[in-house]
A and B are shown apart, each in its own frame.
Chain A
Amino acid sequence: MTVHRYFAPESEAELASLIGRHDDVVLVAGGTDRVVSTRRGQKPLAGTLISLDRVSGLRGLSVGDDGSLVVGALTTHADIEASPTVVDSWTALADGSALIGSPATRNTGTVAGNIMNASPAMDLGSPLLVHGAEVELRSSGGRRQVPFGELVVGPGKTTAQASEYAAAVHVPAPAPGTGSAYVRLQYRRAMEIAVVGAAALIVLDDGIVSEARVALTAVGPTCLDVREATDVLVGQALSADRLDAAAAAAEDVARPISDARADAEYRQALVGTIARRAITFAAERARGRAVPVPASEVKPITNGGGA
């Protein structure tokens, strides 16, 4: 299939109307995934190619009146990595963006691209899950917010309608005492894709875990929410025993496949370790201790970090 029509709208109204008018639309933001997969023959650039890079108002980070973070769809990974606000309060997102590709990839790759490509290995997926993020979809008919876990439903699959585009990501304000982290198993430190990844969000109230979420990356068709980890962690101090239980819960949820990067068996064997690291780093941050971004490049804490 070749490109028959090309548009570079400058406003959202123009974009929405174009998407509504054509039924063979491919949206391109930074192009880092799309252009490469097109050349490999995996995803053709279809009849109507619409470039998002000129649409005004879709790039940038802001904090709303309710303390929530609003990430414009065209915000780049470099923007996120360099934002003190994200690093301070939504740290797992910064951990994820800072790991993507190389400086050149992060300069062009966008948040919407990472989400809407819906790769099971997307580095922002688990951080968005543990932070309870919602993606705002807009069309000429209106707008709606969809929890991340209900938007991305399979490899390359989302529940967005053909007439909708991702406009922003809304991430709730973290409670006082929150720490979050995203860690992945990687074979090298650049241009890498997660072999196994995990994000954790821990809220500590006087040393007791009052809120906890854990999610896994690259071990299922989408990023996976480890709901049972919440049950085993909340209401107690983060002891070695609780960490073991949370790691076991993560292992139960994982259903990895074998691919070019790793065998299913190897991935399964590493899930507990990676989940444990994410929880431990999140707890360290919840205690107010500095863990540099990206946490993946920090030496793992093996004793649970102490209470």
Chain B
Amino acid sequence: MLHDIEVTVNAQAYTMTIEPHRSLLWALRNQLGLVGAKEGCDDSECGACMVLVDGQLVNSCSYLAVQVAGRDVTTIEGLAQLPDMHPIQQAFLAEGGVQCGFCTPGMIMAAKALLDRNPDPDDEAIRRGLAGNLCRCTGYQKIIRAVKVAAQTRQKG
């Protein structure tokens, strides 16, 4: 059984025809070709699939695609204003907060959700904000520093 939904993704309107059991992650990657959000564990443990729905951080692998009907989704592809990267992306690059890169889209979306709520987080708040994101290259120190730098850049800007 297929279901039609209308959704806004990265400020662009889409109509999707989708089976109700499909996850938002599956729909983004396979129907819209937005492959920035990653399937790591497919179990909502690792955070590589994180996106924002109506500004709220969610694991898109355990969020039903049909439930985003009429809502506003932001993925990692929606952050950059080309040719410029988003300040959080710039900070991850500058601070070496990226190793293999697989966890990065989720880390950056979690960082965005955190900084939108708390523009000046301390280390503890950053750790809590990224608590649902795993990096298997063990790069947490640099990731935390990158979020700090992004916060400082934002406050200056």
Interface residues of A in 21-58 (CB under 8 A from B): 28, 31-32, 35-36, 38-40, 45, 49, 51, 53
Tell me which of B93-101, B126-134, B136-144 binds A.
B126-134
Query: A-B pairs with CB below 8 Å: how many?
Result: 86
Separation of A280 and B142 alpha carbons in the complex (Å): 38
Considering residues A3, A36, A104, which has the most beta carbons from chain B within 10 angstroms of its beta carbon?
A104
Closest residue of chain A to B44 (Cβ to Cβ) is A36
Contacts of B45 in A (CB 8 A): 191
Contacts of B42 in A (CB 8 A): 39
Contact yes or no, B67 A36, CB < 8 A: no
Tell me which of A4-12, A171-179, A202-210, A247-255 binds B.
A4-12
Taking the nearest CB of chain A, how far is it from the CB of B82, in angstroms? Answer: 27
Interface residues of B in 28-57 (CB under 8 A from A): 42-45, 47, 50, 56-57
Contacts of A2 in B (CB 8 A): 1, 19, 21
A152-168: contact bitstring with B at CB < 8 Å (1 yes, 0 no)? 00000000000000000
Separation of A191 and B131 alpha carbons in the complex (Å): 8
Separation of A232 and B75 alpha carbons in the complex (Å): 55
Contact yes or no, A3 B21, CB < 8 A: yes
Separation of A28 and B24 alpha carbons in the complex (Å): 14
Q: How large is the interface on B (under 10, 10 to 19, 20 to 34, 35 or more residues)?
A: 20 to 34
Taking the nearest CB of chain B, how far is it from the CB of A47, in angstroms? Answer: 9
| Candidates A4, A31, A190; contact of B62 at CB < 8 Å | A31
Contact yes or no, A104 B59, CB < 8 A: yes
Contact yes or no, A189 B131, CB < 8 A: yes
Contacts of B43 in A (CB 8 A): 36, 39-40
Contact yes or no, A31 B21, CB < 8 A: no
Contact yes or no, B110 A45, CB < 8 A: no
The answer, yes or no, to whether A108 is at the interface (CB within 8 Å) is yes
Contacts of A39 in B (CB 8 A): 42-43
Separation of A130 and B1 alpha carbons in the complex (Å): 44
A187-214: contact bitstring with B at CB < 8 Å (1 yes, 0 no)? 0011100000000000000000000000
Contact yes or no, B128 A103, CB < 8 A: yes
The answer, yes or no, to whether A102 is at the interface (CB within 8 Å) is yes
The answer, yes or no, to whether A220 is at the interface (CB within 8 Å) is no
The answer, yes or no, to whether B103 is at the interface (CB within 8 Å) is no
Contacts of A102 in B (CB 8 A): 47, 131-133
Separation of A101 and B128 alpha carbons in the complex (Å): 11
Separation of A104 and B55 alpha carbons in the complex (Å): 11
A233-272: contact bitstring with B at CB < 8 Å (1 yes, 0 no)? 0000000000000000000000000000000000000000
Known: A39-B43, A49-B20, A103-B57. 20 other contacts (CB 8 A): A3-B1, A3-B21, A8-B67, A28-B64, A32-B62, A35-B23, A36-B44, A36-B61, A36-B62, A49-B21, A51-B64, A51-B66, A51-B67, A101-B44, A103-B128, A104-B50, A104-B58, A108-B56, A108-B63, A190-B128
B-side interface residues toward A, CB under 8 Å? 1, 3, 19-21, 23, 42-45, 47, 50, 56-59, 61-64, 66-67, 69, 110, 113-114, 128-129, 131-133
> 6 tightest A-B contacts by CB?
A102-B132, A190-B131, A6-B20, A35-B62, A107-B56, A3-B20
